[in-house]
Structure 1
Amino acid sequence: MDLEESRDLFWIASILYGTGLACGFAFVWKSSKKASALASLLLIIAGFVAHTKGLALRGELVKGCPLGNGMERIQFILWSLVLGYLIIRLLFRLNLLGSFSAGLACLGGMTSLAFPSLDTPYWEKEGYDGIFSNHWVELHASVAIFSYGIFGLLAIVSSMYLLQRKSLQTKRAGAVARLLPSIQQLETAGSRLLLIGSVFLTCSIVVGALDWSRAPDALSATKVGLTIGLWLAYCILWLLHFSKRLFGQKFAKVCIVLFFIAICSLGFVRSSPATVAESSLTPTNDAS
């Protein structure tokens, strides 16, 4: 393992997240619960540090926020998810949220690294001079991807809600269900995460609009349509939830489905042919 190589650091982060997941669930069954919970938190923090360094090294390599291919975007989303968890933990505590977050970060990270086609070396192309055409585009892309990380955390909280609800309905609370937060805590956390993610995505849309208005031909209709459509979907979801017209199990399921759609949409976001023809910076404006 080379600690100056971004991919190796991503592997280390994924392994640490996976170990943190194992320690977190050991917290459920072992008598030394405090020690298991502390070990899980420390492993997640260590994984986050390795993850951060890996993204920083890749950023130096590509001369910008590393969002130029599928692997980089997935890694940035997972980094945002873990960062969101660490911040939320300071505000209010939700049992096992760290374990579920670490599990998704481990699975997603290893999956993105296992497929070389997701990590195409676009920075090696002739004439490459940076991933983004300007700082506004970079800010738009990074904030948008960060909001996806928050929505990923929302999907995790929603999954925990469904597990807790099922255990209450069947009246068969297993070891995991007994340690899950209450239905009320999970619904409150979900509401806050939805609002935070929607605010970040809105900021991304506003910043992106400033650049789009100056160069409307630089982006494909597919990219604009997917971005606006996803933003509208989350805003409508927040309005319905705020007005108490959508809540509980249905709200949780919609949150999970929307996050899945957001991740899938990354594969359809591409720069328009005109942009590619005018510039050799193929990955420019490739993330949103």
Structure 2
Amino acid sequence: MPRPPVALWIWYRGGTFRGFQRQVLGPTVQEALEAALQEVGVPATVMPCGRTDRGVHARMQVVSLRVERGDSAEELAARLPARLPADLGMCAARKPHPSFHAQWSAAGKTYRYRLQLAGTVAPQWHPYVMRVAEEPRLASALNDITPERLAELLARAVGQRDFTAFHENSSPRKLRTLESATLHELGGGLFEVVLRGDAFARYQVRYLVGSALLTAAGLLPEELWRAALETGERIAGLKAEAAGLVLWEVRYPAKLDPFTPAERAAPPGLPEGPPFLGTPEG
């Protein structure tokens, strides 16, 4: 008999880890999670919905794994949380649909990027935002960046496009759909970019946000920004730092989604405070 499948919803603060995927230099999220699973008697290799890079946070990362025969998602949910390190936790463990796969079943993702456009970063936000004033390429034109201009540029990125100009060559070149890109004020000069799409390539969010800032500052000609969006033409863009980025949500078709609407609206066990919280979309 095959080992039973389980879908885990985990969260983490990325500053502690060198990304999700296991690597020699560690520590990584995968390494910490698989070590905790080993401690509770579930030796397993986990499959995430996607990898996050060093310093990137996740409010909702979904992983697939198989537990030992005779074990269950409910028993794992009772044993695993106490074995996880402080910056890694679990919201839910569920028995998924037989055809569920954390990565291949995903229908889309939402990312949020936090940036301090003006004022002083509040102490609780220090590890979780991009300080625009401290970015060397933007320092000469900070006063030219307005929220209205940044929101306008981000909105122009919406649509089905070849985003090659905004991601690493390690990701395949193909059409991806950015369903929405909006900017929201959180107060005290802190803003949040919310990007929702069907799929994202490596560094795509960080290059989109950073290059929109560069264009809003007048340091990247708008015609180059437009050409990059329309044709995939390479530009000397800006990769925004990892600290501001959160993998916010992973979406699945209703018949395959292991998690209920109520859990998605109020994730059980999710820590209060930055870098998660709730804002425009809940």
Query: What is the TM-score normalised by the length of structure 1?
Result: 0.28
Larger helix proportion, structure 1 or 2? 1
Give the TM-score normalised by the residue count of structure 2.
Answer: 0.28
Question: Which protein is richer in strand relative to its size?
Answer: 2
